[in-house]
């Protein structure tokens, strides 16, 4: 079987992905999956369908799932449920949130606890201090006092979260606290789309929302899934290797190279170490394969902050999850858990050194 790989480019300013899908054709009897791509939630969404006729329907179903969640979780819409919780910060009244919102926030808070705050869904004030999330661009670095104040407001322990039969009641205990679900909401949106598409009978399809992907079936008979390329964080045109994403699996990436602010000529990337209120340095990208997209999204950010040793230790509590890290240093190095290292096939075009983590490394 001849595999013809045809990378599909995502417009650079909008893409937030390390990943690059490689479509594969299998001769005339097996046409390539069709890719339908559109813009939503400030990023690029796409569905790839083996059944070309099913693509418009799949696109509409996926977009309806994204729309439903965006109404709840948008950080930009003043009338979203997320905005209502943030606006009520510091008041004595809790805000009732929906089951979907409660699921995402509950998982985000659990990940914060599990990672000892490396993943922090209350990071909003720190993001704004650096000029992200609609804040004015910074003429100079934030002062230590401003960062200390933003850090204090990002205390994820100062959230009251009480599950109810219809979702949860939430209260942010200090005024000016801000929930930021930017590291998890797109993953959950992909899961919701995946569930609706599966329930509607769609087969052999890949969903992508800004680099959060989840598979249904396979791209071609006996392929075993969908071929996913891992891009070099240093050159978006270079694919360093690929692996097969199996039926039901999800993959997510976090990187330091596509969303950043520039202050006095220096770039600061959008993933923060909330213990210091400083952008994480030293890491260029992480990729996580997981049984669902919300987990993949949350963990890609978490292990970006934690690094390979602590990150792989945390992954031991997440069956079916594998990761790779690409440090922000030349020459190109990939550090991978044994499971992902075994699945990664180098293209050979971009040489790199592979370090495989010990299965039980502390
Ligand atoms: P992307 O949004 O590019 O897919 P991520 O999933 O890694 O990348 O999410 C990054 C976003 O998550 C940031 O833009 C910010 O909104 C939020 N964020 C930044 N630092 C953290 C952190 N330590 N924990 C949780 N969320 C974070
Ligand atoms: Mg993430």
Q: Is 274 in the pocket of ligand 1 (CB under 6 A)?
A: yes
pLDDT score, position 7:
28
Assessment of whether the complete model's pTM goes beyond 0.85: yes
Taking a C-beta distance cutoff of 8 angstroms, is the pair 76, 56 a contact? no
Distance CA 224, CA 227 (A): 9
Per-residue pLDDT, 29: 61
Q: What are phi and psi of 352, to 5 degrees?
A: -150, 160
The CB of 119 under 6 Å from ligand 1? The reply is yes
Percent of the chain with pLDDT over 70: 91
User: What element of type H or E holds 209?
Assistant: strand 205-209
- Residue ID of nearest Cα to ligand 1 atom 16: 182
Q: Which long-range contacts (CB under 8 A, 24 or more apart) does 83-88 make?
A: 85/170, 85/172, 85/179, 86/124, 86/172, 86/177, 86/178, 86/179, 88/171, 88/172
34 SS3 class: strand
Tens-place pLDDT, residues 219-269: 999 999 999 999 999 998 999 999 999 999 999 999 998 888 888 888 899
C-alpha 68, offset from chain centre = 19
Q: How far does CA 47 lie from the centroid of its chain? A: 17
Whole-number Å distance between alpha carbons of 217 and 205:
6
Q: Is 180 in the pocket of ligand 1 (CB under 6 A)?
A: yes
Name the residue ranges covered by the structural domains of the chain: 1-362
Ligand 1 atom with least separation from CA of 118? 23
CATH topology of domain 1-362: T-fold (3.10.520)
pLDDT (tens digit, 9 = 90+) per residue, 81-126? 999 999 999 999 999 999 999 999 999 999 999 999 999 999 999 9
Q: Using a 6 Å cutoff on CB, does residue 74 contact ligand 1?
A: no
Atom nearest to 253 CA in ligand 1: 4
Instruction: List Cβ neighbours of 143 (8 Å cut-off, separation of 6 or more).
Output: none
Span 283-308, average pLDDT: 98
State phi, psi for 351 to the nearest 5 degrees.
-65, 145
Name the helix (H) or strand (E) containing 168.
Answer: strand 167-172
Give residue 329's region: left, alpha or beta (phi > 0; psi -120 to 50): beta
* Ramachandran angles phi, psi of 198, nearest 5°: -65, -45
Q: Is the CB of 128 under 6 A from ligand 1?
A: no
Distance 274 CA to ligand 2 centre (A): 15
Mutational test site, ligand 1, from 12, 208, 270, max ligand atoms within 8 Å of CB = 270
Ligand 1 near 120 CB (within 6 A)? yes
Ligand 1 atom nearest the C-alpha of 119 is 24
| Interacting residues of 29 by C-beta distance below 8 A, sequence separation 6+ | none
Query: Rounded to an integer, what distance in angstroms lies between the CA atom of residue 278 and that of residue 214?
Result: 31
The whole-number pLDDT of residue 361 equals 46
Q: Whose CA is nearest to atom 15 of ligand 1?
A: 182
3-state SS class at 269: strand
Q: Is the CB of 301 under 6 A from ligand 1?
A: yes
Cα(296) to centroid(ligand 1), Å: 12
Our answer on whether the CB atom of 208 is closer than 6 Å to any ligand 1 atom is no
Tell me if 117 CB under 6 Å of ligand 1: no
């Amino acid at each position: 079987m001849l595999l013809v790989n045809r990378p599909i480019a995502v417009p650079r300013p909008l893409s937030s992905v390390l990943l690059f899908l490689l479509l594969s054709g299998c001769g005339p009897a097996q046409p390539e999956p069709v890719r339908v791509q559109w813009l939503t939630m400030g990023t690029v969404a796409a569905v790839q369908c083996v059944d070309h006729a099913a693509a418009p329907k799949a696109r509409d179903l996926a977009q309806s799932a994204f729309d439903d969640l965006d109404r709840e979780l948008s950080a930009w819409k003043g009338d979203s449920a997320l905005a209502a919780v943030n606006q009520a910060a510091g008041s004595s009244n809790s805000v009732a949130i929906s089951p979907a919102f409660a699921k995402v926030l509950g998982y985000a808070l659990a990940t914060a606890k599990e990672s000892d705050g490396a993943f922090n869904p209350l990071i909003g004030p720190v993001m704004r201090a650096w000029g992200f999330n609609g804040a004015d661009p910074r003429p100079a670095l934030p002062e230590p006092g401003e960062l200390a104040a933003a850090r204090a407001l990002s205390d994820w322990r100062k959230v009251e979260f009480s599950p109810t039969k219809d979702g949860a009641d939430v209260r942010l205990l200090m005024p000016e606290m801000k929930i930021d679900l930017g590291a998890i909401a797109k993953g959950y949106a992909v899961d919701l789309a995946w569930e609706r598409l599966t329930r509607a009978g769609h087969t052999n399809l890949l969903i992508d929302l800004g680099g959060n992907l989840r598979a249904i079936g396979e791209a071609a008979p006996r392929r075993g899934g969908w071929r996913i390329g891992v891009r070099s964080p240093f050159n978006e045109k270079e694919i360093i290797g690929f692996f097969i994403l199996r039926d039901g699996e999800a993959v997510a990436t976090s990187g330091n190279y596509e969303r950043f602010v520039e202050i006095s000529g220096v770039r600061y990337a959008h993933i923060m170490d909330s213990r210091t209120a400083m952008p994480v340095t030293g890491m260029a990208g992480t990729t996580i394969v997981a049984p669902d997209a919300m987990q993949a999204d949350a963990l890609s950010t978490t292990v970006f902050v934690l690094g390979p040793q602590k990150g792989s230790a945390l992954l031991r509590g997440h069956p079916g999850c594998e990761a790779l890290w690409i440090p922000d240093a030349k020459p190109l190095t990939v550090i991978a858990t044994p499971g992902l290292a075994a699945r990664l096939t180098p293209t050979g075009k971009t040489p790199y050194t592979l370090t495989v983590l010990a299965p039980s490394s502390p």
